[in-house]
Amino acid sequence: MNILFIGDIFGKAGRKIVADHVADLARARAADLVIANCENAAAGFGVTPRLVEEFLALGIDVLTSGNHIWDRKEIIEYFPKEPRLLRPANYPGGPGRGGYVGRPRSGVEYGVLNLQGRVFMANTDCPFRTADRELETLPASCKIRFVDMHAEATSEKQAMGWYLDGRATAVVGTHTHVPTADERILPKGTAYITDVGMTGPYDSVIGVTKETILSRFLTQMPAHFDAAEGDVWLAAVLVQADPETGQALGIERIRLRGD
Ligand SMILES: [Fe+2]
Contacts of 62 (CB under 8 A, 6+ apart): 33, 35, 36, 84, 86, 100, 102, 112
Hey, which residues does 200 pair with through a beta bridge?
233
Q: How far is the CA of 137 from the centre of ligand 1 (A)?
A: 26
Residue type, 203: D
| Model pLDDT, residue 154 | 98
Q: How far is the CA of 40 from the centre of ligand 1 (A)?
A: 7
Nearby residues for ligand 1 (ion, Cβ within 5 Å):
66-67, 175
55-90 CB burial, b ≥16 within 10 A, e <16:
beebebbbbbbbbbbbbbeebeebbeebebbbbbbb
Is the pTM value of this prediction over 0.85? yes
Mean pLDDT confidence for 44-63: 97
What's the CA-to-centroid distance between 225 and ligand 1, angstroms?
15
Whether 71 has a pLDDT exceeding 80, the answer reads: yes
CA of 31 from ligand 1 middle (Å) equals 25
Q: What is the predicted pLDDT for the residue at 14?
A: 98
Instruction: Give the model's pLDDT for residue 174.
Output: 98
**Cα 175 to ligand 1 centre (Å):** 4
How far is the C-alpha of 68 from the C-alpha of 81, rounded, in Å?
A: 19
Percent of residues, the chain, with pLDDT higher than 90: 96
Whether residue 72 is predicted with pLDDT greater than 90 in this model: the reply is yes
Q: How far is the CA of 178 from the centre of ligand 1 (A)?
A: 12
DSSP 84-146: TB---TT-SS-SS-SEEEE--TT---EEEEEEE--TTS---S-HHHHHHHHHHHS-TT--EEE
Query: Residue 165 — pLDDT band, cuts 50, 70, 90?
Result: very high
pLDDT over 90 at 26, yes or no: yes
Q: What is the pLDDT of residue 68?
A: 97
What proportion of the chain, given as a percentage, has pLDDT over 70?
100
Give 244 Cα–ligand 1 centroid separation in angstroms: 33
Q: Is the pLDDT of residue 132 over 80?
A: yes
Nearest Cα residue to 256 out of 233, 227, 231 = 233
Q: Which residues are catalytic?
A: 68
Span 199-250, pLDDT tens digits: 999 999 999 999 999 999 999 998 889 999 999 999 999 999 999 999 999 9
Q: What is the pLDDT of residue 119?
A: 97
What pLDDT, on the 0 to 100 scale, is given for residue 232?
98
Q: Given this model, what pLDDT does residue 162 score?
A: 98
